[in-house]
Amino acid sequence: MSRTSTGTAASRVDAPVSLAPKAQAPHLPRQLSDAEFVLLRGAGTSKRVAAGEVLFRKGEIGRSMYVIETGQVRLEFGDGLPVKFLGPREYFGELALFIGNHARVAGAVAHTGCGLRVVENPAFDVLLETQPAILAQFMRRSFAYLVASEQQLIAHLQRRNEDLLVTLDSLRQTQNQLSTANRLVRTDDLTGLTNRRGLYQFLEDLPRQRVEGTQLGLLLIDFDHFKRINDAHGHLAGDEVLRAVASEVTQLAAPCDLPCRLGGDEFALIVQIGDPAELQTLAARVVEAMHAIGFPPPLDTLTVSVSVGASLCAENADWSVWYHQADTALYQAKAAGGNSWSIHAQA
């Protein structure tokens, strides 16, 4: 097989005119994290509304998302569905930003006097470009909440199939818009490799991506004495070394393989190989390639040394078994002094 590169918490809350009982907490909370609240609040424009004022009605085309600073807002879904009450640091109307020109699935009314932040599409697009990590986390969690909400909606709208189909279509559009955010969530910020989340997604999809006539193999790649690099040259130099190693691992991977960073100075490479002997060859090439990495001054005297543990992966076993076998081989390579590789002996 050819292998090529690939207001604040202290703000006064307006006294409610007639506070309804607290709505039951949703399965996935709509409470913003500190970072999300600061980011979205800064991107929005301030809006004060009086108790009873209608923010939007069900069925209207939405173009804004709202963040509550003070007061309470109630969402009215109609069709016998329970009213939801939202309070400070909670948000609503986000589908208008995720998919654009979205028909509101509920009406929103100020239950008390409220201080709001209104986030429009242009400001949200800027956040996507400048703060992708925070926005990816926010959008992914929002989508999960929407899915959970729609599951509840299905139970209440069995008589209203037409409304249900419209809602599900909106969710499908949202899922398409979230593809970029999900990719960011599955990528390691430092090296650009797939991270553990991406690895688990890859494993779920692997049965549909298998190359006919190949076997699965796993290589665990671990630095020898990486702490010494950080201690001697600093963490920025350590980051540069990690990126260089990630680049080498990527170049050794075939398009059907998955190079990833498991965390710290530990990398993994899941491969689809035509012959078990290819696993040994690849493990040796990894050790040699890392040892041959060159760096510009002042790191020009630095030599990277790694240990590699490899194992063939049984199709009927799961990731934990594969990892344990490769990790056992990695320990053997470390025990032999490092800068070497070892293959797990199959039973």
- Give the active site residues: 265
Does a structural domain hold residue 55? yes
Same domain, 254 and 284: yes
Does a structural domain hold residue 190? no
Amino acid 57: pLDDT = 94
Does a structural domain hold residue 141? yes
Same domain, 124 and 164: yes
Of 172, 185, 100, which is closest to residue 139 (Cα–Cα)? Answer: 185
Q: How far apart are alpha carbons 258 and 54 in whole angstroms?
A: 51
For the domain that residue 125 is a member of, what is the CATH number? 2.60.120.10
Instruction: Specify the number of domains making up the chain.
Output: 2
Same domain, 166 and 296: no
Max mean pLDDT among 26-40, 151-165, 287-301 falls in 287-301
Does a structural domain hold residue 181? yes
Does a structural domain hold residue 4? no
Of 39, 114, 38, which is closest to residue 69 (Cα–Cα)? Answer: 114
Same domain, 122 and 56: yes
SS3 107: strand
- Which helix (H) or strand (E) segment holds residue 299: the answer is none
* pTM score, whole prediction: 0.50
Same domain, 132 and 215: no
Same domain, 202 and 150: no
The mean pLDDT of 272-279, rounded to a whole number, is 92
Q: For the segment 102-120, what is each residue's pLDDT rounded down to a tens digit? A: 789 899 999 999 999 999 9
Residue 177 scores a pLDDT above 70: no
* Residue 175 in tokens: 């899922």
> Which of 158, 185, 212 is the C-terminal boundary of a domain?
185
Does a structural domain hold residue 14? no
Does a structural domain hold residue 202? yes
The mean pLDDT of 30-57, rounded to a whole number, is 94
Residue 154 scores a pLDDT above 70: no
> Which of 185, 219, 239 is the C-terminal boundary of a domain?
185
> Which of 128, 162, 185 is the C-terminal boundary of a domain?
185
Amino acid 164: pLDDT = 62
Same domain, 221 and 276: yes
Same domain, 150 and 229: no
Does a structural domain hold residue 29? no
Identify the band that residue 251 occupies on the pLDDT scale cut at 50, 70 and 90.
very high
Same domain, 235 and 319: yes
- What letter represents residue 342's amino acid? S
Same domain, 136 and 230: no
Identify the band that residue 297 occupies on the pLDDT scale cut at 50, 70 and 90.
confident
Of 40, 78, 37, which is closest to residue 57 (Cα–Cα)? Answer: 78
Same domain, 38 and 160: yes
Q: How far apart are alpha carbons 136 and 195 in whole angstroms?
A: 15
For the domain that residue 320 is a member of, what is the CATH number? 3.30.70.270
21's CB contacts (< 8 A; 6+ apart) are: none
Q: How far apart are alpha carbons 181 and 345 in whole angstroms?
A: 41
Same domain, 168 and 205: no
**Residue 249, domain extent:** 196-343
Identify the band that residue 25 occupies on the pLDDT scale cut at 50, 70 and 90.
very low
